[in-house]
């Protein structure tokens, strides 16, 4: 992928504040120089009788990639739509770059880019025309727009497809076009709502790299996804939400420390006695232990000597061991631990 947007990073960073007054958001001297890009306080939102957001709080710092995780129906997209002043809400306050966000906050809107969950494009326009149209909503000057469109096309690697219409693009290419339309005007704040749904690993990797380049160029990113590994890969801080509430907030490691779950240990063995399995289950750090005749799987609590103590017990009991795997807890474990394993719609 080209570095057209990231190439502006040295000139543009830190994130501007007064870009709202000009047509090029990431330029100029910041006037609203607090650390907060998005501030949501006590947001309450109902869909009919269903509570969608329950006194929800959110603070996204400037220059970070903030991950918003949650099961289906947890309220992620509702939060984004409230931030964008598309949805009404019953209580709470939302500000972006320290200013209240309303439907007519055009200065703020000029600094925001959105990559929606569904691919929202004109099927009758070509790739280039689509990007140019969305750019025109922010940048009136044709010459400036032409340059930005070229850079956006290059950023998402669609140079060979500029004359294609969206219907002729693969799912991954359409997603990349969706992104280009959202970031073409070089916003200070970009909201990505599950941008990698149904794309292949190569496209996903390209998208994630692009988001990191946006961050490097000074943009703040709010990123929602179901894919834990990609959130863990790119996000500075992560919030897990469910039922319209904040469940946990922190870095990936901080989140892992919040749960009782430690590593998962797998030991290959063919002669584990039932008595030995019972003694393993009785160890204080063991949460769960299962044996299927070939492998012993042990789920542990946090502890520094879990693996050593388990191996000592196996050696003492005369159990022969083959391969040995120890996996630290993943964000997926944290997510399932905090939100439960019940199926969601």
Partner 1 sequence: MWTTLVTTIKVNLREKSNVFWMFAFPIILATLFVGMFSGLGGDGITPQRMAIVEDSNWSHVQQAGMLVKTLSGKDEANADRGTQQTLITPHAVDSIQSAQALVRKQQADGYLYANENGTLGIAVSDTLAADATNAISASNASITITALHSVINQFNQSMASAKTLAGDAARGLGNPSSNGTAASRNSYTYTTDHSLTHFAPDPFARYYYALLGMACLMSMSFAIVSITLSQANLSPLGARRSIAPLSKWKQLSASFCASWLVSFISLLVAFLYIRFVCGISAGGREGMAIVAIAISSFVATSCGLLIGALPWLSQGAKIGISTAIACIGALFAGLYGQYAMDVNDAISRKVPALHMLNPVKQVSDLFYDLLYYDSYRPFLLTTGIIILMGALFMGSAVMLLRRQRYEYL
Q: Binding to partner 1 by residue 125, rule CB under 8 A? A: yes
As a whole number of angstroms, the distance between CA 49 and CA 60 comes to 29
Choose which of 64, 107, 144, 309 interacts with partner 1 (CB under 8 A): 107
Burial bucket for residue 56 (CB in 10 Å: 0-12, 13-18, 19+): buried
When asked if residue 121 is in the footprint of partner 1 (CB under 8 A), the reply is yes
Enter the tokens of residue 167: 């219907």
DSSP assignment string, 10-48: HHHPSPPSGGGGSS-TT-S--SS-SSEEEEEEEEEEEET
Q: Which of 21, 47, 160, 288 binds partner 1 (CB under 8 A)?
A: 47
Among 56, 66, 97, 138, binds partner 1 (CB under 8 A): 138
Q: Is 129 in the site for partner 1 (CB under 8 A)?
A: yes
| Cβ atoms of residues 224 and 76 within 8 Å | yes
Dist. CA 217–CA 61, nearest whole Å: 15
CA distance 114 to 235: 17
Q: Considering the rule CB under 8 A, would residue 134 count as an interface residue with partner 1?
A: yes
Q: Number of residues interacting with partner 1: please give it, by CB under 8 A.
A: 31
Choosing from 11, 33, 35, 106, the residue that interacts with partner 1 (CB under 8 A) is: 106
- By C-beta, is 191 or 280 nearer to partner 1? 191
Any contact of residue 114 with partner 1 (CB under 8 A)? yes
- Cα–Cα distance for residue pair 22/144, rounded to 1 Å: 13
Asked if 174 is part of the footprint of partner 1 (rule: CB under 8 A), the reply reads no
Q: How many CB atoms lie within 10 A of CB 37?
A: 26
For residue 293, give both structure tokens.
């005749």
CB of 268 to partner 1, least distance (A): 50
Tokens of 267: 């030991």
CB of 58 to partner 1, least distance (A): 18
For the bound state, the minimum distance from the C-beta of residue 306 to partner 1, rounded and expressed in Å, comes to 48
Question: Is 118 among the residues that bind partner 1 (CB under 8 A)?
Answer: yes
31 binds partner 1 (CB under 8 A): no
State yes or no: residue 88 binds partner 1 (CB under 8 A).
yes
Q: Does position 148 bind partner 1 by CB under 8 A? A: no
Q: Measuring CA to CA, which residue among 177, 184, 195 is closest to residue 231?
A: 195
Contact with partner 1 (CB under 8 A): which of 33, 91, 120, 325?
120
Residues 342 and 87: their CA atoms lie apart, in Å, by 29
Residue 264: enclosing H or E segment and its boundaries? strand 261-268
Using CB under 8 A, pick the residue from 87, 197, 259, 324 that binds partner 1: 87
In eight-state DSSP terms, residue 176 is H
* Binding site residues, partner 1, CB under 8 A: 47, 81, 84-88, 103-104, 106-107, 109-110, 112, 114, 116, 118-122, 124-125, 129, 132-134, 136-138, 181
């Amino acid at each position: 992928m080209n570095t057209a947007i990231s190439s502006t990073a040295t000139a543009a960073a830190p994130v501007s504040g007064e870009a709202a007054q000009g047509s090029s958001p990431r330029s100029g001297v910041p006037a609203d120089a607090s650390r907060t890009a998005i501030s949501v306080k006590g947001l309450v939102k109902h869909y009919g009788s269903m509570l969608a957001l329950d006194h929800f709080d959110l603070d996204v710092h400037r220059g970070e990639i903030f991950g918003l995780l949650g099961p289906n129906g947890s309220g992620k997209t509702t939060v984004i739509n409230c931030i964008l002043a598309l949805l009404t809400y019953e209580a709470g306050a939302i500000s972006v770059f320290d200013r209240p966000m309303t439907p007519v906050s055009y200065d703020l809107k000029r600094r925001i880019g959105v990559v929606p969950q569904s691919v929202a494009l004109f099927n009758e326009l070509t790739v280039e025309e689509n990007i140019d149209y969305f750019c025109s909503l922010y940048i009136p000057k044709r010459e400036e727009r032409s340059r930005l469109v070229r850079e956006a096309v290059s950023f998402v690697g669609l140079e060979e497809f500029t004359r294609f219409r969206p219907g002729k693009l693969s799912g991954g290419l359409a997603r990349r076009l969706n992104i280009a339309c959202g970031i073409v005007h070089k916003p200070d704040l970009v909201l990505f709502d599950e941008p990698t749904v149904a794309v292949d690993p190569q496209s996903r990797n390209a998208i994630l790299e692009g988001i990191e380049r946006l961050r490097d160029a000074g943009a703040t990113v709010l990123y929602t996804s179901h894919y834990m590994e990609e959130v863990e890969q790119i996000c500075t801080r992560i919030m897990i939400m469910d039922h319209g509430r904040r469940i946990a907030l922190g870095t990936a490691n901080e989140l892992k420390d919040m749960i009782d779950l430690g590593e998962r240990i797998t030991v290959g063995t063919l002669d584990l006695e039932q008595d030995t399995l019972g003694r393993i289950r009785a160890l204080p750090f063991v949460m769960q232990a299962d044996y299927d005749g070939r492998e012993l799987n042990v789920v542990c609590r946090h502890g520094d000597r879990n693996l050593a103590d388990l191996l000592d017990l196996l050696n003492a009991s005369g159990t022969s061991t083959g391969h040995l795997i120890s996996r630290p807890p993943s964000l997926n474990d944290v997510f399932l631990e905090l939100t439960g394993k019940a199926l969601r719609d």
